[in-house]
Amino acid sequence: MSADIELVDEPNGLIARRVVVGALETNCWILFSPNSKKAIVIDPGDEPGRIVDACSDLEPAVLLLTHQHWDHVLGVPEVVDAFGLEVQAHPADAPIWPNELDHLAEHGHFDAGTATSELLGCGCHIGAPADSLLWDGKTTPLLSGASVVVGNLELKVLHTPGHTPGGLSFTTRGHVFTGDTLFPGGPGLTGWPFSDFQTIISSIRSQLFSLPGTDQVHPGHGESTKIAAGQEELEAWIARGW
């Protein structure tokens, strides 16, 4: 088992494994309930071998994408092949992966938002993995309000655009998986093509900050936080503009 962290929330019947993958240390989440092996994989961003390994005692049944930036999808083909999964994502993100591939073809690396030059400068590899397949971009549409039911686990789908047009968050039993929409200390980057600051603020306010303040927020990179921590800071984020 090569998960970096396993959160066990027994009262709520949720186990969440976090595998931190790739150049941008993306959180790939594997969710299941204690009495079922059926699992949900969210954002296999790179290092698919480690993700497959972290699922070795489970039966992954579905693959969900919070959004389609390269650092959240590079491991998709191998994880899909290993478990025969369908990739579910919001259709409004359809332009994102083709845009990433265009950027790769034109510049020889993916666009990492505002940190691209720093990452390249420090020698981080933000190109396509040499030895693995590139994702074909095929998804099954997943819309706001849908439920994803796997074993005893039910995730509710929230459309949280702004970082990308088809950004999704997934909520279940006191936890919300926010991708690059909400982090401790602020919203995700909106300097990318297809991003918009007002839209991400509106998503956070209406979709995420209507959840209980005690809900744990698990973002696409870095550590978890609580809804209440962000609620206190929202006005400051709006005032600073990022």
Query: Which residues are near Zn ion by CB under 5 A?
Result: 69, 71, 180, 220
Report d(CA 89, CA 109) in Å as an integer.
24
Helices in 12-165 by DSSP H: which ranges? 48-54, 70-73, 76-83, 96-107, 116-121
Q: Whole-number minimum distance, CB 85 to Zn ion, in Å?
A: 20
C-beta closer to Zn ion: residue 78 or 180: 180
C-beta closer to Zn ion: residue 113 or 230: 113
153, exposed or middle or buried, with CB in 10 Å at 0-12, 13-18, 19+?
Answer: buried
224, 217 contact by CB (below 8 A): yes
Q: Whole-number minimum distance, CB 220 to Zn ion, in Å?
A: 5
C-beta closer to Zn ion: residue 93 or 180: 180
- Indicate left, alpha or beta for 114 from its phi (over 0: left) and psi (-120 to 50: alpha): alpha
Q: Whole-number minimum distance, CB 119 to Zn ion, in Å?
A: 12
Q: Whole-number minimum distance, CB 93 to Zn ion, in Å?
A: 10
**Residue in 214, 198, 205 with CA at minimum distance from that of residue 234:** 205
C-beta closer to Zn ion: residue 75 or 151: 75
C-beta closer to Zn ion: residue 69 or 175: 69
The edge-to-edge listing of strands for the beta sheet with 225-226 is 147-150, 153-159, 168-172, 175-179, 216-219, 225-226
Q: Whole-number minimum distance, CB 27 to Zn ion, in Å?
A: 9
